[in-house]
């Protein structure tokens, strides 16, 4: 699995603060403004917090690896960072990608893993 350097604790804190409230948003339709703006705040935090890291995401991961939520459960901080950055980049070219991940529970699993990893930083 592809990995990046571990993100800083400060950048992880910003990401966790901006993370969409997936249980609350799950009660709304995916095309609601509330969901749209929550995902937008998350994307903004990825770039503004220092969590983003330039990478060739198209070479780093196959589509199967990106869609496999089981990878999240064992990912170290650098791997989780790479996966989240790759998903943000995919969303730039495939509109609605992050909404699909949100709808499928991928975001919730990633959030839980990031919380666990942050405790060890």
- The parent domain of residue 35 ranges over 9-119
Q: What angle do CA 57, 38, 56 make, to 5 degrees?
A: 5
pLDDT tens readout for residues 79-92: 999 999 999 999 99
Q: Tell me, yes or no, whether 100 lies in a domain.
A: yes
Residue 77 located in a structural domain: yes
* Burial annotation 101-117 (CB, 10 A radius, 16+ → b, else e): bbeeebbbbbbebbeeb
Q: pLDDT digit string (tens) for 17-55?
A: 998 888 888 788 888 898 889 999 999 999 999 999 999
Q: Does residue 4 lie within any of the structural domains?
A: no
In this predicted structure, what is the pLDDT of residue 31?
83
- Would you say residue 1 lies in a domain? no
Report CA-CA distances (Å) from 49 to 2, 11, 13, 41, 70: 21, 5, 9, 11, 26
Domain count, the chain: 1
Would you say 7 and 81 are in contact if contact means Cβ atoms under 8 Å apart?
A: yes
Give this prediction's pTM. 0.91
- pLDDT band (50, 70, 90) for residue 3: confident
């Amino acid at each position: 699995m592809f990995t990046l350097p571990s993100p800083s604790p400060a950048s992880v804190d910003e990401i966790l603060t901006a993370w969409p409230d997936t249980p609350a948003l799950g009660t709304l339709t995916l095309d609601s403004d509330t969901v749209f703006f929550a995902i937008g705040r998350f994307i903004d935090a990825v770039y503004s917090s220092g969590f983003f890291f330039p990478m060739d995401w198209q070479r780093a991961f196959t589509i199967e690896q990106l869609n496999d939520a089981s990878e999240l459960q064992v990912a170290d901080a650098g791997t989780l960072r790479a996966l989240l950055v790759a998903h943000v980049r995919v969303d730039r070219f495939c509109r609605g990608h992050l909404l699909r991940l949100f709808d499928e529970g991928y975001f919730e699993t990633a959030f839980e893993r990031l919380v666990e990893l942050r405790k060890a930083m």
